[in-house]
Each structure stands twice: as structure tokens, then as C-alpha cells.
């Protein structure tokens, strides 16, 4: 095993990737990353940082749609244990940062897409801080058509890594203001969600 450290707390395995997005399958439902949270994927060497943009669960086989059984979750899996193997949860993440070696991650896109089957784990707070310094990362999210809810969730996640909540919130608010330009309504909505 090459990536034991990453495996220890991994939240997904890359099943689809590009230089702007990746899709990862979660090992189990309990390890699903939160919307807007930061994850990292190892390139060995280098690592990319991404923001979880969507999480979805469904059938592994696109041709077979799950049907309702009318049982509690516990009872269902007792009666139909094979279901665990047929269902999966996966998430999509937008790439926002890159580090070529061991140094801090920066607001850059990786030069290549993450390799398939690499493990995705929660990002280190230091990486989140360096990637979200200033407001440029928000522009990357916006270019990837992130919704306002995602923007707010990502900003909240970035703030959680910083000690001085108020100043950081102000800086993030200003970055959002610059981002949405003249759309004052939208700014108000975003700030309300950030403040929640």
C-alpha cells in the first residue's frame, strides 16, 4: 500500500477527474464530506485542494433504480444485506488549489487531472488557509458555476480554519462583494448565509 496515511481518514476515491473537477466515491455513507468542505487529493508528488460541490447517493448500476421497501434502515439492511454493495454515495468537487511539492497549496489549478482511484481526504487547515487567502478562489468557484449556497458554505468552511473570525469574515465579505459586483441583492443573501 502506497498511501496509508491518506487512506486512514479518506472520504472518497477518485472515479472521474479533469483539471477543474473530480468525482469521488465515498467508502461508506458515514464518511461523506460536507457540502462546501475542502478536500485534498494526493498526486505523489504534489496535491490538489478542492471544494465539495455536490454529494449524491444512488445505485451503482445506472440501469437499476432503487425502489422503496417501506422498512426502517436497520431492518432493511438486515433483510437485504446485498443492498450495501449495490448502492453508493459519491461527491463532486471543484479544484481550487495546488501544491507541487510539500509547500503550502496555492490558488492554482493542478496542471493535470488527479489520477483515478487516488484517495481523497479532508484538506489540512493550513492548505485551506493558504488557498483561501484573498478572494481569488471564489472566482474559480463562480467560474465553475457554483451556486450561492455553495459559495456561502465554502466561505463558512474557510472561516472555520481561521482564529480571528470577525476580520476573516469581513475580508471574505469584501471578496464576495467584489465578486458579485453591482448585484447588491445577491451580496445581501450571500452575507446572510455566511453569517449563519
Partner 1 sequence: MIETRQRLGLVTGGSLLDGLEMKLDPGVSTEALRAGQYVVVEGQDHIFYTMITDVRLQSASPSIPIRPPADGDDLLRQVLAGEWTYVTLHLRPLLQLPLVGETDVDSAQVKTVPAHFAAAQRASEDDVSRVFGQQSARDRFHVGAPLDMDTPVCLNLSRFVERSNGIFGKTGTGKTFLTRLVLAGLCHKLPGEVVTLTFDMHNEYGGSARQEGSDRHVPGLKQLFGEQVAVMTLDEESSRRRGAPIDEVVQLAYDDIEPGDIIAMRGELGLSEAGCDTLSLLEGHFGDRWLWQLLHGDPEELVERIGGHLGAVLAARRKLARLAGKDFKRFLHPKLEGSARRAVDTLVKRLAERKQHVVLEFGQVTSLLSYLLVANVVTRKLYAEWVRRAEEFHASLRPQDKPPHLVICVEEAHKFLNPEAARQTSFGQIARELRKYFVSLLIVDQRPSGIDDEILSQLGTRITAQLNDDRDIAAVLAGTTGSAGLRVVLAGLDSKQQALIFGHAVPMPVVLKTRTYNDELFGEIGRIKADVEGTMSAGPDPWG
Taking CB under 8 A as the criterion, the residue among 8, 67, 182, 196 binding partner 1 is 182
Smallest gap from Cβ 46 to partner 1, in A, equals 35
Stretch that binds partner 1, among 14-22, 28-36, 51-59, 179-187 (CB under 8 A): 179-187
> Does 189 engage in binding with partner 1 (CB under 8 A)?
no
Going residue by residue from 31 to 70, which x/- string records binding to partner 1, judged by CB under 8 A? Answer: ----------------------------------------
- Our finding on whether 196 is near partner 1 (CB under 8 A) is no
CA distance linking residue 158 with residue 52, whole number of Å: 12
Which of 94, 92, 85, 32 shows the shortest CA–CA distance to 61? 85
- Is 173 a residue that touches partner 1 (CB under 8 A)? yes
Which positions lie near partner 1, rule CB under 8 A?
Answer: 169-170, 173-174, 176-178, 182, 184-185, 187-188, 191, 194-195
Amino acid at each position: 500500500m502506497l498511501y496509508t496515511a491518506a487512506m486512514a481518514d479518506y472520504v472518497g476515491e477518485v472515479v472521474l477527474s479533469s483539471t477543474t473537477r473530480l468525482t469521488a466515491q465515498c467508502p461508506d455513507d458515514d464518511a461523506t464530506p460536507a457540502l462546501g468542505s475542502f478536500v485534498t487529493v494526493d498526486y505523489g508528488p504534489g496535491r490538489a485542494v478542492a471544494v465539495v460541490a455536490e454529494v449524491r447517493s444512488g445505485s451503482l448500476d445506472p440501469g437499476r433504480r432503487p425502489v422503496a421497501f417501506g422498512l426502517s434502515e436497520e431492518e432493511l439492511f438486515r433483510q437485504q444485506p446485498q443492498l450495501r454493495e449495490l448502492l453508493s454515495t459519491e461527491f463532486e468537487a471543484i479544484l481550487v488549489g495546488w501544491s507541487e511539492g510539500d509547500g503550502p497549496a496555492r490558488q492554482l489549478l493542478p496542471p493535470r487531472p488527479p489520477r483515478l482511484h487516488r484517495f481523497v481526504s479532508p484538506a489540512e487547515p493550513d492548505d485551506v488557509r493558504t488557498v483561501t487567502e484573498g478572494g481569488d478562489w471564489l472566482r474559480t468557484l463562480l467560474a465553475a458555476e457554483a451556486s450561492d449556497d455553495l459559495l456561502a458554505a465554502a466561505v463558512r468552511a474557510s472561516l472555520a480554519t481561521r482564529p480571528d473570525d470577525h476580520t476573516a469574515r469581513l475580508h471574505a465579505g469584501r471578496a464576495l462583494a467584489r465578486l458579485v459586483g453591482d448585484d447588491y441583492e445577491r451580496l445581501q443573501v450571500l452575507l446572510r448565509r455566511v453569517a449563519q
